[in-house]
Amino acid sequence: MSDPSCLFCRIVKGEIPAKLVHETPDVIAFRDINPQAPVHVLVIPREHIESTGALTEAHEALSGKLLVAAAEVARKEGLDSFRAVSNTGADAGQSVFHLHVHVLGGRSFTWPPG
Ligand code: AMP
């Protein structure tokens, strides 16, 4: 449920400070420490799940809550356009192995991403 060696579990517990922008009983959202856009917020489950790739049917409700929270963050931040991205695995750029959705906005983006 919680991994004491996981950075984002420690943020959930309040052991490491973060700039919270949204929270629900299951999900929190906080500003990325190294923003890649004017708005860059990470939406994470309170529960420790390694990545999007570790999701199963047991996580269907929680997965929906993550996306709804991403939309709430975008509304709160006044974003009409935004990227919601979940890097999954080291080759895809995942560096913190606690599932998270990046909400990026406030600038234009190209497609496909690099
Ligand atoms: P990823 O590389 O997709 O796993 O995303 C991890 C994100 O976590 C990166 O964008 C980091 O900048 C961000 N990050 C790492 N440590 C912290 C922290 N203490 N507080 C907020 N964001 C962090």
Q: Which domain holds residue 81?
A: 7-99
Cis-peptide into 25, omega within 30 deg: no
pTM here? 0.98
C-alpha 102/C-alpha 47 separation (Å) is 17
Cα(86) to ligand 1 centroid in Å equals 12
Query: How many independent structural domains does the chain possess?
Result: 1
Cα(96) to ligand 1 centroid in Å equals 6
Nearest protein CA to atom 13 of ligand 1, as residue: 32
What Å distances lie between residue 96 and 22, 48, 82, 86, 87, CA to CA? 20, 11, 22, 11, 9
To the query of whether residue 22 is one of the catalytic residues in this protein, the response is no
Residue 1, pLDDT score: 81
Is there a domain that residue 1 lies in?
A: no
Is there a domain that residue 30 lies in?
A: yes
Mean model confidence pLDDT for the chain: 97
Q: What is the CATH number of the domain that holds 73?
A: 3.30.428.10
